[in-house]
Structure 1
Amino acid sequence: MVGADRKAWEQEQRKQRIVDMAETVFFQRGYDGATLPTIAKAAGYNKRTLYLYFIDKEDLFLAVVLRGLEGLHGALKQSVEQTGPNSSGLRDLAVAFFDFSMDHPQYMDLIMAYESRYFDYHNRAASTAPDSHRERCQQVSDDMARLMTAAIETGMAGGGVKSDLTAHQLMLILWGQIVGVLKILRIREKNFAAAFGISRRALFDQFVGMVERALAR
């Protein structure tokens, strides 16, 4: 490895270590509780080093969120690719969302914080740097919305999904329903089956079935 390549490699390794440590801190403390000095200490650097790679706390937070968004997007995309040609894939998308949420709850918490603080669903600022963490998060979020909207359009075209709403409008409703149900299931993680006589996954499957039947009428 030549000198310039090695230096670039070392810089990338240092940057990823900072993101790794920031991820741990954000997972433990959330956005509001995390500070740059705490992250720098966890990474073994001073705060000045962080500023060599990240503009501010927001930029570092979005670098962590990007990991979560890419993981969720990958899971959703894989579910669509495994769906048969005659199916909308909505159930598969819902199950992929459930699995990711249960397997990576801390990423989901950060994604929800990102959506409430930074996600721009209309008239996005043109001044956003094209390769910034914020723009990359936005692009992945937009891709997920398009993925879900396309699945709904397929269902509508095949007659399995009926609604007076547009596919884009229905996507928002379904996204909100799934996020809400998953939030309840996560809050009630302990002793769920003993309290309700059903597993969280089985109850989620029942919820998805109810939505499918409602949309098919």
Structure 2
Amino acid sequence: MPSNAASGKPYSPTVGLIYVFNLIVGTGALTMPGAFVAAGWLLGLFFVVVLAFMSYITTTYVIETMASANAIIRLDNQRNVQDAAHHDVDSTSGNDDERQSLLHNDDSTSEDHTADLFEISKKVEMVSSEIIAMYMVSSEIIAVYMVSSEIIAMYMVSSEIIAMYMVSSEIIAMYMVSSEIIAMYMVSSEIIA
């Protein structure tokens, strides 16, 4: 089961069920029989195949991104260990010949090393600051945050406009109700007169 990024603990089964329920209901999978009836079997089957292909591409992208993020993390860790070892060797002796290994057997371990490099052993969230920092420089990160904040601001402005429209439509509805009451009063007063 996937683990919680912050604490390293696995997600609870309740969270998993809520996620799957949201996934099924949110994508509209329960409406597929009605869509097949309305569109026809051939067109419906075509769209299911297209959606399956797009899902495959998306899943492959996520897996490859997580594998490459794990490889970058491993390479950074190896580089830090080598730098620390290199620094220790420099401080203990000044001889360059002692730093190089006498036995080089790169043919057999090279394939195993690259295969282990891309193994997904650490869960890296797709929208975490860790993966953003891996693939972007600081100026790109600032630009992404600025654009996303502008999008959020535009959304907030549009939601405020919608809220104002709803308030004005409620005022219009109240006016219409009050004018109907006045009209009913006028009709009733004409009947009495």
TM-score over 0.5 for the pair: no
| Larger RCO (CA within 8 A; separation ≥ 6) | 2
- Shorter-normalised TM range: under 0.3
TM-score normalised according to structure 2 size: 0.24
Query: Which one has the largest radius of gyration?
Result: 2
TM-score normalised according to structure 1 size: 0.22
